[in-house]
Amino acid sequence: SLTHALQKALHATGLRPLRWHDLRAIHGGLLVQAGVGMTTARDRLGHSSIAVTSTFYAGAVDELEREAAEKVGKLLGA
């Protein structure tokens, strides 16, 4: 099966086992971290609303906001 092939490939590379849903979550997190708009992330993930996408990836968004604030602070000499 495709799931067995995935697990075999992960094992061969020394990576921990993942479920297909884990890969979906990784993809969503990477979209947010890459700065892709929430509308695009919602569409790619098939969520019914931006609120759903935001709920699942709020931690990634919070981290990006913190990083942005730090970068602006450095530019301003804070």
What is the per-residue pLDDT across 65-75, written as a single tens digit (0 to 9) for each? 788 888 888 88
- What confidence score (pLDDT) does residue 78 get? 65
Distance CA(31)–CA(6), nearest Å, equals 22
Domain boundaries along the sequence of the chain:
21-75
Record the pTM: 0.65
Distance CA(69)–CA(44), nearest Å, equals 28
**Terminal-residue alpha carbon distance, the chain:** 55
Distance CA(14)–CA(28), nearest Å, equals 23
33 and 60 Cβ atoms separated by less than 8 Å? yes
> pLDDT per residue over 22-63, tens digit each?
888 889 888 988 889 889 999 999 999 999 998 888 776 677
